[in-house]
Amino acid sequence: MMTFLPNLDDLTLQQQVAQMVVVRASGFLFDHEIQYPIWEPPAATLRHWVEDLGVGGVILLGASAGEIALRTQQLQSWASIPLLICADVEEGVGQRFSGATWFPPPMSIAEVAKRDLPLACHYAEHLGRITAAESLAIGLNWLLSPTVDVNNNPDNPVINVRAFGETPEIVSELAKAFIRGAHQHPILTTAKHFPGHGDTAIDSHLELPVILHDRDRLEQIEFPPFKAAISAGVDVVMSAHLQIPALDPNYPGTLSAKVLTDELRTNLGFEGLVTTDALVMGAIANRYGTKEACVLAIEAGTDILLMPLEPEKAITAVCEAVESGRISRDRIQASVERIWRAKQKACSIALPSEEGYVWENPPEPVLQTNQLTESIAQPEALTINAELLRSSMRSHHPNPSRLASLDGVGRNLIIVDSILDCDFLGRTAPAIALPAQFGFTQIEIVDRHTPHIDLNNRDSSPTLLQLFIRGNPFRGIAGLTQAAQDWFTYLLKTNQLYAIALYGSPYVLDRFIPSLPSDVPYVFTYGQMREAQAIALESLFAKQSMNF
């Protein structure tokens, strides 16, 4: 059955507003595998939202790349109007969906840019191109990337290594390169989080950050990467759930006409789609609730309401605001017209026909397995990923090495935020298997759920300390956990620290180095996935083996 974009005049007010709503869904096909039931509806509810309400898009999380390919086909088959289907794939498709290419976070490219900006732009362009290609292969047509915030606050718990750097110049160049690469394919790109989320120590998933910078500072640091992204043709700009009194003393950016209309539309001249960040986040949901937040966001100038907790109530509230005269019908139609233009690009919509806009290349009804396996995690992508991991790695290999004098059984101490969420660890993971070849066979894993241990009553063992620490949403902190700090101090005090492997945040490494003895080797990598573990540990132990 051919699918069409209808003429806007043929849609009811409710249908037009529904097109402005993007709902959250699990990537898993079966209800019993849903991981976040508060946000992810069962299949029957999701189908109702898509088929009956006619929501405009879906954001996915979880499952393998192969299952997502089936999921996106299912979703499009339910929709009478082609859907925008998106995901937060800032580090490649494999970041969210197993089996696809998982790159290190964008700040790894900024590390390369410090010494070789053209090479860094080369990597950023490949990141955009490969992420776009693999996304399209599994049915995603909208990238929620690149992040163009300037992360100039080391304590930033929500942006951190997701940023393309700490200066507007580097962030601007790498963002443009990413967009240039992604736009080699018919996919939407997103610059986020306007007007700039890089200088806050509060996670907007939990609370509302307030940034007290004046306008001159915003013009110098926060705005330039957005200007660069707009000049590069970015399709969407995502708002930030934070308040900047210099721009609007009353409302956070997501709900502020002064930010989204006056600054973004008028001053920066952006003509594409404006989307909110997820409306379930605490900075908005805890203060305004679903209904009022959605109405305020549209009044402010947004086109897409991303992840309202209760989509039906959101649609009803906006319709009531139109019917009461609070929001004009022209305002709704202007947003839907922009959505239509985006869908013409992302959903392969042909020119108008007598029946409306026809969907030129609808998804095949049956998953083409060969096409999928020939598009995901191809040798070129894996090679570029390994090159980037090596190019951005930092290490210290003193000579002679303490590892060369390992006597007896060593402890492999791994500290993570939550072992329950570590898909990158397992029996065969390099962080487990590779150190054992060098005598570190006593494995111990500690996370924030581990009961407090009296470190003074422990056996003494030469220890390889491996830390997986980076800023992550909902964690609330970007740096060392208390457990990590306690163990580091204890191992130093008792002279048990033989080497460190740190995965994730360079800011944690910077805090370690001043108190780290010069004869202790270390390796740092931005990645936490298995490829990063293997490359980092092979470097660490290969260098030490040369000293045996």
Specify the pLDDT at position 45.
97
Dump pLDDT digits (tens) for 62-106: 999 999 999 999 999 999 999 999 999 999 999 999 999 999 999
Specify the pLDDT at position 546.
44
Specify the pLDDT at position 547.
42
User: Between 282-300 and 329-346, two packed helices, what is the crossing angle to 10 degrees?
Assistant: 100
Specify the pLDDT at position 207.
77
**Which residue in 88, 203, 277, 303 is the catalytic one?**
277
Specify the pLDDT at position 219.
96
Annotated catalytic residue 205: yes
H/E stretch holding 241 reads none
Specify the pLDDT at position 282.
78
Specify the pLDDT at position 529.
95
* C-alpha separations of 463 from 200, 350, 410, 442 in Å: 35, 62, 6, 9
3-class state of residue 243 by DSSP: strand
3-class state of residue 127 by DSSP: helix
Which residues make Cβ contacts (< 8 Å) with residue 326, sequence separation at least 6? Answer: 295, 299
Put the strands of the sheet holding 84-87 in their side by side order.
142-143, 84-87, 57-61, 21-26, 305-306
Specify the pLDDT at position 165.
96
**Which residue in 183, 193, 197, 205 is the catalytic one?**
205
Residue 98 half-sphere exposure toward CB, CA atoms < 13 A: 9
Specify the pLDDT at position 3.
55
- What DSSP string describes 313-361? HHHHHHHHHHHTTSS-HHHHHHHHHHHHHHHHHHTTEEEEETTEEEESS
Give the pLDDT means over successive 10-residue stretches in the chain (548 positions). 71 97 97 94 97 98 96 96 97 96 97 97 98 97 97 86 96 98 98 92 74 93 98 97 93 96 97 95 84 96 96 97 97 97 83 56 56 88 97 86 64 89 88 93 88 76 92 56 85 92 92 90 96 96 58
Specify the pLDDT at position 4.
65
Q: What is the dihedral of CA 526, 530, 536, 538, to 10 degrees?
A: -170
Specify the pLDDT at position 472.
61
Neighbours of 184 (CB within 10 A): 12
Specify the pLDDT at position 485.
86
* Ordered domains of the chain (ranges, CATH): 4-373 (3.20.20.300), 394-545 (3.40.50.10870)
DSSP 409: P
Specify the pLDDT at position 360.
54
DSSP 51: I
Specify the pLDDT at position 102.
97
Specify the pLDDT at position 237.
98
Annotated catalytic residue 213: no
Pure H helices in 107-222: 107-113, 117-137, 168-182, 215-217
Specify the pLDDT at position 285.
82
CB 469 within 8 A of CB 417: yes
Specify the pLDDT at position 402.
56
